[in-house]
C-alpha cells in the first residue's frame, strides 16, 4: 500500500533538541554545586526523557524520592524557558518535509514529550500549522511503546496504519509503530547510545540521514 502519512518521533528524530535539554540539566547541576556533564554523555540519554536525564545527573538519588522529583521539575522549568535556543531540525529534514507536502502526503509527530513542552516547541519551530497531527505523551491515556498514540495519529491524519511510515530513534518507537501495524524506520542520526542495537528492533529499515527516508516513499 502506498504511504500517505509520515510520522516522526520528536526528540532525536525530527529535531535536534539535545543541546537545549543538556543546558537545562547542567544549570540544575551547577545550582547543586556540581560540575557540568559533558554533552557527549547527555546526548544518548535525551530520547529517554526527563527522568533519565536526572538519573544521569544525580545517580545517587532514588527515582521515587522527593528530591529527585523536585530536580526533575526544576530542569523542565528551565527547559521550558529555553525550548528552541539551539534546537533545530536535523540537516535535510526541512527539505524532506517540503518533499512530503509536495507529493500531497501529510506528516505528523508522535512523541512521549508532554504537551506543555511539545506544543510550544512545535510553535517555535514554525511547524504547528504544517503538522497534520501532534500527539504528545499525555494526549492519550497510554504512551509509546503502546500503540494507542499511534492509532490516535491515524485518526488525526485520516490514514490507515498501513499507510503510515513511522520514524524514531528508540526501541519504544519501533515497538509502538509495529504494534499499530505501521511500517517503521530507525533514525540512526538520532540519540542512540553504545548499548543500543537498532538492527535487532524489528524495524523495516535504518536510515543514516533524513534524505534517505525519501527512498522509502518511492
List the catalytic residues: 9, 11
> Is-contact 176 77, C-beta < 8 A?
no
> Is-contact 3 106, C-beta < 8 A?
no
Angle at Cα 192 formed by Cα 41 and Cα 55, nearest 5°? Answer: 45
Q: What is the largest CA-CA distance in the chain?
A: 56
3-state SS class at 134 = strand
- The alpha-helical segments, DSSP class H, found in 93-145 are 93-102, 115-124
Number of residues in the chain: 218
Distance (Å, rounded) from C-alpha 61 to C-alpha 10?
28
Computed on alpha carbons and rounded to an integer, the radius of gyration of the chain in Å comes to: 17
- CA distance between the termini of the chain: 12
Amino acid at each position: 500500500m502506498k504511504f500517505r502519512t509520515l510520522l516522526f518521533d520528536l526528540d532525536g528524530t525530527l529535531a535536534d533538541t539535545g543541546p537545549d535539554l543538556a543546558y537545562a540539566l547542567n544549570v540544575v547541576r551547577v545550582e547543586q554545586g556540581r560540575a557540568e556533564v559533558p554533552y557527549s554523555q547527555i546526548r544518548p540519554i535525551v530520547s529517554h526523557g526527563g527522568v533519565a536525564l536526572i538519573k544521569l545527573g544525580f545517580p545517587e538519588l532514588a527515582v521515587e524520592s522527593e528530591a529527585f522529583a523536585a530536580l526533575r521539575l526544576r530542569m523542565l522549568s528551565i527547559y521550558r524557558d529555553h525550548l528552541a535556543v539551539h534546537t533545530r531540525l536535523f540537516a535535510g529534514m526541512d527539505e524532506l518535509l517540503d518533499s512530503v507536502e509536495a507529493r500531497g502526503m501529510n506528516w505528523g509527530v508522535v512523541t512521549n514529550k508532554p504537551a506543555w513542552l511539545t506544543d510550544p516547541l512545535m510553535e517555535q519551530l514554525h511547524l504547528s500549522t504544517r503538522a497534520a497531527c501532534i500527539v504528545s505523551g499525555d494526549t492519550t491515556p497510554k504512551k509509546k511503546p503502546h500503540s494507542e498514540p499511534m492509532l490516535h495519529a491515524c485518526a488525526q491524519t485520516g490514514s490507515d496504519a498501513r499507510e503510515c511510515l513511522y520514524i524514531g530513534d528508540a526501541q519504544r518507537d519501533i515497538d509502538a509503530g509495529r504494534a499499530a501495524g505501521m511500517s517503521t524506520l530507525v533514525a540512526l542520526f538520532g540519540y542512540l547510545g553504545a548499548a543500543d542495537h537498532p538492527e535487532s528492533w524489528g524495524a523495516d529499515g535504518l536510515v543514516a540521514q533524513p534524505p534517505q527516508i525519501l527512498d522509502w516513499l518511492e
